[in-house]
Chains A and B, each alone.
Chain A
């Protein structure tokens, strides 16, 4: 094996093994930054040895052994300096290396889950949570993270260093939350994963081809979480939502780079495998027998679209009902606006307009171009062209997306022509 190929192979193994290594080491040394350093040291040793010896049969266990020895050395060396490590050293002397092997090579699922809770800790800012999760759980380099968020490498590096410091100050950050706290912490984790996904999803319409990496990483992380916390319905709900949304990635952008709306997308191009996986995840969520949470409801709505063979065959009545359930669980003007569209499709534009008019005055929607855009569309369908034109013009003035602006102006002009008929 030559060195460049060894480097790439070791990188691949790092991606597979790093989260488990870091999780188990964090439990040992109670310091996530140190755990990452120890794991990386082990990789450096591997990079030196493997080109000579070949890759061991079980590279994960090999790395774990090297890292573990370094961890024990480190603990013993530092016990005099710090009370925290004195305690760890005492523990590490009481147990044999064999015990340690068993503890480290066995089921690391709980450690991994603790690590996810840690990287999504409430003491950290949202940006820090995302960066640290991508680094420690997805094995992305600082450079990859920086590219994904269109920011500089030093910014991301600094964000990660600060986050690790904050976590070290929080002594209990590696504990498994329980009871009410568990629900809260879990929703923080899911939020980070979905944030990651949306960051990638929203960017796929631009030229920033690198960002789908985020969609992929979010999906992978979601799938991992589904195995770590299989009894949590919202985990499966989020996975279902992401799988189904990802199934449409390739149809969201037209040949000229223009966004293609859901109902205009070529359904034959949707990824059936991901749809099937999404529906299976939703089924797993339902089987837990608890009321559907916000992610599961959004997934159920996405599933309605995925299951309709053609846009005209969409079950809008069901979608309207799901939006109503969603607006009760997670009320927001945006959900209301979506509900208005579904109600209009199911029962007629007049009913949709009623809902839109109820939220039209909200300051939260003041600069939201989709509000006048939806209102314009409903008025147009009702034949109130004059009013519709005004709404389309308002929407066009609000959006910053040039292509969307062109579309809205065309609509306004069309209404203008009709109203003077």
Chain B
């Protein structure tokens, strides 16, 4: 599925520095019953965001209008657990384009890259600095430059480079999709299949 190209993102950010945020928190299983990719943002962090009567929980960051933006700052091991891509869809649908953490779970990271959410892994120290700045001033702008593989806090000397493989980087810069790439390989895949023993 085509998605928005990613080049430079300049935005305020939403801090959620809890460790091991699993995909069941990002989108609980009971909201996975759709047959289309629509409306998942409504249920992003559902059980942290709303109480059992569907009233917003005031102490949850998405209900705090001090914080907003297209960047979500998570704690270590963000996106662990279930492979549900719905978690990445919910994050995208809510309006985030980038998740920053000191460590990502593997499948979640892949899912993000496949749908146009950029996972940016930074050092635990830089994560602390970013969080400190945002807490002090929620209007702090974070700049994520994919081409330069650079994340910085605007108006400060703080920045870090981040890793992304060239292939995925190119896909995100251009909004390309793996399936187009693979469909072009179809003939060699068919030939390969004849050699496989199983």
Q: Do A and B truly interact? A: no
Query: Which residues of chain B have a CB within 8 Å of any CB of chain A?
Result: none
| A interface residues with partner B (beta carbon < 8 Å) | none
